[in-house]
Amino acid sequence: MTPRTDARAQIIIALDFPTLRKAKDFIRKMDASRFLWKIGLELITAGKAWDLIHFISDRSGQIFYDGKFADIPNTVGAASKVVAKMPGVKMLNVHASAGKNSVIAAVQNKGSEQLALGVTILTSIEPGECGSIFGDKPGVKVLQFAHMLSDVGADGIVCSPKELKLLKKHKGLDMLVKVIPGIRAKDAPPDDQSRTMTAEEAVIAGADYLVIGRPITQVKDPVLAAELIMKQIASVS
């Protein structure tokens, strides 16, 4: 899978809104066709995913269905079959920690034009906590998960920008599309994302897509914020 290199194509805006109305109002401001859009657990749990998917796809937008499947292979496969029928969905994801057979189930049951991504270590997990959960540091575990994802045919990986340089050192992993959350400005106040980089730093390190929420969705002028980030990406890509 060859990554897209256009700066606009590299931005996935996270629609982490409490209501469908707020999500739709935000998309109307931004022009749906210019970005990819991440629909996550908040709107999925609220039962609004299908409505929003049709709203975006009707406006020529593409979707990252961030369901983060983490279950036995049969369940992950069945869920992936449902996503395969969703219009406009370009990406879906499954936790790599669910095991290789669950990742294989997602790969085998996704839509023919969809990308199956493996979620590795969440950006909110610090090194000490990673050790208590996964038994080692984030870099070690992300690399282990990445090799497994590549071996079983996953299209891409979701990891923090901090692990990108490590992944780049392994040529066998170069075909994995790198989808990277944890994008923050240098002067951004601390929040629940602990392993972060700026957009420019992440692209230089090897990111193919940047998942960006609050730096765009929770500012006074989101259109301007998105344009500035696109210019930053274009300057280094």
Q: Residue 13 forms beta bridges with which residues? A: 37, 212
Contact status, residue 210 vs residue 37, Cβ threshold 8 Å: no
User: Cα–Cα distance between 60 and 71 in angstroms, integer?
Assistant: 32
Which residue in the list 68, 81, 90, 100 is annotated as catalytic? Answer: 68
Q: What angle do CA 188, 192, 198 make, to 5 degrees?
A: 40
Length of the chain: 237
Measure CA 184 to chain center.
15
SS3 224: helix
Contact status, residue 187 vs residue 215, Cβ threshold 8 Å: no
Catalytic, 68? Answer: yes
SS3 4: coil
Catalytic residues: 68
